[in-house]
Structure 1
Amino acid sequence: MSTHQETGTFGVWDYLVFAGMLFISAAIGVYYAFSRGGQQTPKDFMMGGRKMTAMPVALSLTASFISAITVLGSPSEVYRFGSILSLWAISYVLVVLITAEVFLPVFYRLEITSTYEYLELRFNKHIRLCGTILFIFQTILYTGIVIYAPALALNQVTGFNLWGAIIVTGVVCTFYCTMGGFKAVIWTDVFQVGIMVAGLLSVIIQAAEIQGGINKILNDSYHGGRLNFWDFNPNPLQRYSFWTIIIGGTFASTSIYGINQSQVQRYIACKSRFQAKMSLYINLIGQWLILACTVFCGLAIYSRYHDCDPWTSKKISAPDQLMPYLVLDIMRDYPGLPGLFVACVYGGTLSTVSSSINALALVTIEDLIKPHFRSLSEKTLSWLLKGTSVLFGVLCIGMAALASLIGFLLQAAISIFGIIGGPLLGLFALGILAPFVNSVGAFIGLTAGFVISLWIGIGAQLYPPLPERTLPLSLTTDGCNMTDFHHQGNWTTTTETTFSTSTLQVNSTERTPLMDNWYSLSYMHFSTIGTLVTVFVGIIISLLTGGRKQSLDDRFLLTKEDFLSNFDFFKREKLILNPQSYTKEDGGIDNPTFSYTEMYSTAESRKISGP
């Protein structure tokens, strides 16, 4: 590959394609702000009136799960660690099954609006508050990095204006979330997932043409050791293996799909439980398609640069810049196509950020404002929802600025869901699956899980695992034109390199057993540890504090009827609580179960406050 030309630059047509994507996204928000009278009630704004069908929700689930970190980060991970990441396909099946058959039946039956309402129903309002605060902190932090990371990668490779991209992304997301509410978020996601697929397919098609066909790409990858689909090493310290992806990946993704407000809000907005389950299963196909595209893009990058690694040769400064570097290399003769790829990346960013802003506004109103101000009118609630959407949009842009100062890794962004989402997953699992767990056990379990996972996460960032733990594959520069280098020298195989300004460099001879074992745990397992510690501690404490003496309504638990209902095709099952059974307060919580929630929570908190 010594004859590579310099990569292209971002041209007028590319900016027009990117601007077109932003304009259409904003236009969808304007449309839903005014169509059919606009978002007339808070429920319309937050949940689309609970009238959504499976297909748009499925595409929205796919789009909001796939951020720019997926589009840029997954191909670079395949380039460095191989096709073993394709095992996520199995993990996705487990995640969808668990979500559809364990969490969805309970959430849908209770007709909750905020996921964290369940925690008050099942435990008490203090645990609900803990769940809400952890979610808000996690989402703002993650969303800021989702905005900043792709902007930085594209800026360093294409010259795309860094802060212009960050501010435009935040403003457009905030605009259509505030104007069009939940329906605007759903339908912009549908549009953006189409852009993402188109962008990835354009890279695959052009790479296959330039490299001499798909067989040539696969052949190069095979000889470079990139077709390493199976590695059954049970060592949890290894970055990627069958077990770390299947077990760790399932826990991490379930903490997003199963209990994260951004995702749960979508499937419980469907008009029936059947539509809700179908949205999850259809979404599985979308996940597989995106995964296949990103894995193949990683193989295409390797085929193109297998003897002249751009990272080692200092043509790029971080692995997450590989995709934009490839795009400008192979698409420089096709005006508009680099713009389509940037639109693809920012489609991932917009969908994730808009989902986050919408979910943050909802939980703030439902969990932090409504319980204390029950007499708010629908008009006041609607204005509060719009105001909090703007507020969180500004906060996410501010967090992107903070991320630029801290220098987070993309891996750190993914780890956030493990550190915070894992303990939350354990908390919900305790509530739904363990009837003897009480509020004392739940709180102490959540605290223990969060402290342990945070300890590992911070330690892993300060003392990153050595290459013998992460096992990166070889990268060479034997075929590079040496005169193109900024620094002359004999470039050879690179090893794992850290590129976070916040990381402490520790010589391998100075590393302690704690660093080499506990902190070297695969980041895929952060969620696993957090969930298991929460569950284990929660069960032990509950048994010691009289949890078996409490009596619970079956509505708050997973029952065998929830599973058997999948086979009932001949009669419509009653899917929600009968709202006539309870009194609904005027101007209070929209959920017909909430008056029952308070009554139940008060009674239960008295029951289980002592052993």
Structure 2
Amino acid sequence: MKQILIVLSLCILSVSGTANESTQQTFLTWNRHAELPPVGGQGESLGVAGPYVGVHNDALIIAGGANFPKPYWGENKAWHDDIWVLDNSGNWIEGGKLSRPLGYGASVSTPLGVICIGGNDAAQTYSDAFLLKWNRTTKTLEQESLPALPTTLAYTAAVLLGNKVYVGGGAVTNDLASTKKNFWLLDLGDVQAGWSELPTWPGPERGLNLLVAQHNGKGKQIYLLSGRRVDKSGEIEFLKDSYAYNPRSQTWSRVADSPICFMAGEALPIGDNHILVVGGDEGSLFFKADELKDDHPGFFKQIWGYNALTDTWQKAGEMPQNHVTTQVAKWGEDFIIASGEVRPRVRSPDIWRVAILPPNPDFGTVNWITLLAYLGLLLAVGFVCARQTQSTEDFYVGGRSIPWWAAGISIFGTTLSAITYLALPARVYATSWSAIILNLGILIVAPLIAFVYIPRLRRINAVTAYQFLENRFDLGLRLFGSASFIIFQLFRMGIVVFLPALALSAVTGFNLTVCILMMGLISTVYTAFGGIKAVIWTDVVQVVVLIGGALLALGIVAVNLDGGLSSLVSMGKEAGKFEMPPIEWSWANDSFMVLILGAIFSNALVPYTSDQAVVQRYLTTSSEREAQKAVWTNALLAIPATLIFSIMGIALFVFYKSNPDLLGPLEKYDQILPWFVAHQMPAGFAGFVIAGVFAASMSSLDSSMHSICTAVSNDFVGRFKSDWNDENQMRFARLLVGGLGILGTTIAIIMSTMDTGHIFDFLIGLMGLIASPLAGLFLLGLFAKKPKANHAWIGVICSLIAIVFAKYFTDLNGLLFGLVGIGVCFGVGLFTSLFASRNAQS
């Protein structure tokens, strides 16, 4: 054993240092999409600077702007009023004229149209705001006036966040010496209310600044970057200071300075947390423009990336051409950079279409061998268990002979899905380890489960949890409880396979369909043949692999940190990663009380009392005492596992804050662990950690399949079919598991081909509402003697109404829905029974 540990340590150390080799990555692809037609009656297409640019109804709108006719250095600047529209077929359509030649304002694409804000001409600056709307039916452009700005403004920036337009920075005259500290808001839900003034940033005034919205892990922020101003002595200052505005608290904070000045540039929000700056002027040749004239090399081509979550800058490839003083607009999934200035006085008519380059790492032969060997081991365990599964007693409850420690590990594996495996480190990476509280609710609830719930279940020799509901109330509530569980699990099966597979494929290069098929089909085979024994023993293997993979990943992250664990602690503390939630009486935020109550009711009472996938493990041991030990095993496993995943999240944050060049824009920040595995871990090790993700997903999937089968066979078919012999039951159960496996895998594959995220989130959320009333039913049956079936039904109905109201008509934190559902079901059920009892006595 000692020799094995030495070899493992040497292997980990052999990869240390490689992660710190900074390499510049490329995240974007650039294509010339079109060329802006000539404007202002000019004979050739010269392009414009300062245009209004946006997309509406799948058409690109470019309006106004200014340029210098040829020869560039012998002519005066000309402002234009032309409007051009490029449809999705690549055809240019004349869109009429602006009310006057105008440019150097700001523009924002909104569902209402392209909002154009401020601007100037050769003589003056304006406070105008107006809307450009493309009518795709008539192929015409419509213009509509909007409330004017509080003052004249040019060289400003604007951004849309939600249903609100924010404007910040700019100059009130054509002279940039008149830059202003201004921050205004226009609510598109109440446009006629006009612009409202907001607090300004705690830095100097500026113009030609950038304004972009991005998520910093805690919420959407508005970032004000760079710019230019003239100080009190008349000197031009190229600014690098940057600020973030929190719309919820209406407060500003200073963030990391940009590495260079980006005045008059463009910024793209990429993925969940990144901003890429794809234009601008750092000012190095600003005072030499008249001297260089046509020998000016143009502006820098380096793309700079900012990670709003780690507050770090990185180099992010190069652009083929830097266009300044223009606007960026999103068209579909791509970004449009239209025309603009490429060197002093020279514009370009090029319209660039910029797309995000998907990562394409190679998983590698060694990693595939590691993963396939693990999957082969699961099949072998399944076939061994299949030989020991000869009766329905074996298939459903393992002959009630499963060791307590194996049952406890299986409970832990069942409740820890791959979504949690990926999401908990990601949540800590993005926020803090306050979420650790959520996973500790089982320690509080375990005595109730062990000493009250398990004895009642085993006393009636139950196979499903819902038999207790019939024994205590009536058959209707048993069928309601079982059906609710079945429907919820049917939807959940696809989710627990699809989401981890999506995260893996996005950053590892895995084929999504192959990933889904591997998890789905292998789980189906060993579950169908081996029954609950195969599920539990493969869960044991899978828990070892997933915890081992997490420890391995944590070890490699820690070894590659400059300063090791001390850096992890010091940088984690500085970033607030070890902070606990505030102790406050707020029911909308993740306060301490919300997390505690959520941990007890939503995360512990609901699954450990009403979820057949968990409850079934209580029934597989040889005695009540063994089942109680299984519950305590699971509870005690939750502590180190939660600490491991939480510390891993902190370690990933510290690692990528120290090595920003190694992290690309992630579509979702819960891909952070797969990204690290794919890009930083050596061959073989990466395969083992990915096997851990597979393990977490498959342990949830096999539990769902088997528990649905148990519920259908015992609560529905077996309950009403008295002549059902053991052989027929076994045949039916195995066929049903096979069908469920195919169904769950098919749902996951369908999800992979459609934009169904919001639909499935809604359905899962809706079905999840039923779980807490079920838990309330069990508590009502356990602790109240008077309530009968009719009282319990009233409690369930009132509970459902209360949760729907809380979800859709209040700002109550979703973690408290469990408390609402359980509390209302229990309280109403008990109250109606007492009320009925008094009426009967009177």
TM > 0.5? yes
| Partner amino acid, structure 1, of 2:396 | M
**Matching of residue 363 in structure 1 with residue 714 in structure 2:** no
| Residue of 802, 807, 812 corresponding to 1:521 | 812
Name the CA shift for 1:124/1:215 in 2 (closer, same or farther; >3 Å).
same
**Matching of residue 12 in structure 1 with residue 337 in structure 2:** no
CA separation in 1, counterparts of 2:412 and 2:762? 22
Comparing 272-281 with 405-414, greater Cα deviation is found at: 405-414
**Matching of residue 95 in structure 1 with residue 114 in structure 2:** no
For residue 286 of structure 1, report the CA deviation from its aligned partner.
1.5
Which residue number in structure 1 is paired with residue 379 of structure 2?
26
Matches within 5 A, 1:193-342: 193-212=543-562, 213-238=564-589, 240-252=590-602, 253-306=604-657, 315-331=665-681, 334-342=682-690
Which residue number in structure 2 is paired with residue 597 of structure 1?
none
- The one-character-per-residue Cα deviations of 1:579-599 (angstroms, maximum 9, x if unpaired) are xxxxxxxxxxxxxxxxxxxxx
Which residue number in structure 2 is paired with residue 372 of structure 1?
720
Task: Check whether the contact 2:788–2:833 (CA below 8 A) recurs between aligned residues.
Answer: yes
For residue 126 of structure 1, report the CA deviation from its aligned partner.
0.8
Task: Check whether the contact 1:91–1:245 (CA below 8 A) recurs between aligned residues.
Answer: no
**Matching of residue 60 in structure 1 with residue 410 in structure 2:** yes
Q: What is the DSSP-based 3-state SS (H/G/I as helix, E as strand, rest coil) of the residue aligned with 2:724?
A: coil
Comparing 65-74 with 281-290, greater Cα deviation is found at: 281-290
CA separation in 2, counterparts of 1:191 and 1:413? 32
Matches within 5 A, 1:420-439: 420-439=770-789
Which residue number in structure 2 is paired with residue 3 of structure 1?
22
Task: Check whether the contact 1:357–1:393 (CA below 8 A) recurs between aligned residues.
Answer: yes
For residue 18 of structure 1, report the CA deviation from its aligned partner.
1.2
Comparing 413-422 with 20-29, greater Cα deviation is found at: 413-422
CA separation in 1, counterparts of 2:840 and 2:623? 35
| Residue of 731, 747, 750 corresponding to 1:383 | 731
Name the CA shift for 1:90/1:376 in 2 (closer, same or farther; >3 Å).
closer
Task: Check whether the contact 1:441–1:541 (CA below 8 A) recurs between aligned residues.
Answer: yes
TM-score by length of 2: 0.55
For residue 536 of structure 1, report the CA deviation from its aligned partner.
2.1
CA separation in 2, counterparts of 1:246 and 1:116? 28
Which residue number in structure 1 is paired with residue 829 of structure 2?
538
| Partner amino acid, structure 2, of 1:198 | G
Task: Check whether the contact 1:151–1:166 (CA below 8 A) recurs between aligned residues.
Answer: yes
| Residue of 477, 484, 495 corresponding to 1:145 | 495
- The one-character-per-residue Cα deviations of 1:399-442 (angstroms, maximum 9, x if unpaired) are 32454432159987995785222111001111111111111111
CA separation in 2, counterparts of 1:199 and 1:547? 60
CA separation in 1, counterparts of 2:504 and 2:643? 23
| Partner amino acid, structure 2, of 1:300 | A
Which residue number in structure 1 is paired with residue 698 of structure 2?
350
Name the CA shift for 1:57/1:335 in 2 (closer, same or farther; >3 Å).
same
Name the CA shift for 1:408/1:195 in 2 (closer, same or farther; >3 Å).
farther
| Residue of 497, 508, 511 corresponding to 1:161 | 511
CA separation in 2, counterparts of 1:549 and 1:386? 50
Give the unaligned 5+ runs of structure 1: 460-513, 551-610
| Partner amino acid, structure 2, of 1:522 | N
Task: Check whether the contact 2:488–2:768 (CA below 8 A) recurs between aligned residues.
Answer: no
Task: Check whether the contact 1:103–1:259 (CA below 8 A) recurs between aligned residues.
Answer: no
Task: Check whether the contact 1:139–1:356 (CA below 8 A) recurs between aligned residues.
Answer: yes
CA separation in 1, counterparts of 2:585 and 2:464? 38
Name the CA shift for 1:150/1:455 in 2 (closer, same or farther; >3 Å).
farther
Task: Check whether the contact 1:73–1:410 (CA below 8 A) recurs between aligned residues.
Answer: no
CA separation in 2, counterparts of 1:548 and 1:385? 48
For residue 88 of structure 1, report the CA deviation from its aligned partner.
3.3
Comparing 157-166 with 102-111, greater Cα deviation is found at: 102-111
Task: Check whether the contact 1:437–1:548 (CA below 8 A) recurs between aligned residues.
Answer: no
Paired residues in the alignment total 485
For residue 328 of structure 1, report the CA deviation from its aligned partner.
2.3
Which residue number in structure 2 is paired with residue 591 of structure 1?
none
Task: Check whether the contact 1:418–1:526 (CA below 8 A) recurs between aligned residues.
Answer: no
**Matching of residue 83 in structure 1 with residue 433 in structure 2:** yes
Q: What is the DSSP-based 3-state SS (H/G/I as helix, E as strand, rest coil) of the residue aligned with 1:298?
A: helix
Give the unaligned 5+ runs of structure 2: 1-19, 26-358
Q: What is the DSSP-based 3-state SS (H/G/I as helix, E as strand, rest coil) of the residue aligned with 1:370?
A: helix
Task: Check whether the contact 2:392–2:730 (CA below 8 A) recurs between aligned residues.
Answer: yes
Q: What is the DSSP-based 3-state SS (H/G/I as helix, E as strand, rest coil) of the residue aligned with 2:683?
A: coil
CA radius of gyration, larger in: 2
| Partner amino acid, structure 1, of 2:373 | G
Comparing 404-413 with 7-16, greater Cα deviation is found at: 404-413
Matches within 5 A, 1:536-575: 536-546=827-837
CA separation in 2, counterparts of 1:310 and 1:92? 40
Name the CA shift for 1:440/1:197 in 2 (closer, same or farther; >3 Å).
same
CA separation in 1, counterparts of 2:449 and 2:574? 39
Which residue number in structure 1 is paired with residue 76 of structure 2?
none
| Partner amino acid, structure 2, of 1:348 | A
Task: Check whether the contact 1:176–1:184 (CA below 8 A) recurs between aligned residues.
Answer: yes
For residue 398 of structure 1, report the CA deviation from its aligned partner.
3.1
Misfit runs of 4+, over 6 Å: 307-311, 409-414, 547-550
Task: Give the percent of matched residue pairs that are identical in Structure 1 and Structure 2.
Answer: 27
User: Superposition RMSD on alpha carbons, in Å?
Assistant: 2.5
Pick the structure with more strand per residue.
2
Name the CA shift for 1:5/1:340 in 2 (closer, same or farther; >3 Å).
farther
Q: What is the DSSP-based 3-state SS (H/G/I as helix, E as strand, rest coil) of the residue aligned with 2:548?
A: helix
For residue 95 of structure 1, report the CA deviation from its aligned partner.
2.5
Pick the structure with more helix per residue.
1
Matches within 5 A, 1:567-586: none
CA separation in 2, counterparts of 1:297 and 1:414? 28
CA separation in 2, counterparts of 1:107 and 1:350? 27
TM-score by length of 1: 0.75
Task: Check whether the contact 2:428–2:649 (CA below 8 A) recurs between aligned residues.
Answer: yes
CA separation in 1, counterparts of 2:660 and 2:818? 33
| Partner amino acid, structure 1, of 2:382 | G
For residue 4 of structure 1, report the CA deviation from its aligned partner.
4.9
| Residue of 718, 734, 742 corresponding to 1:394 | 742
Task: Check whether the contact 1:136–1:360 (CA below 8 A) recurs between aligned residues.
Answer: yes
Which residue number in structure 1 is paired with residue 422 of structure 2?
72
For residue 105 of structure 1, report the CA deviation from its aligned partner.
1.7
Which residue number in structure 2 is paired with residue 596 of structure 1?
none
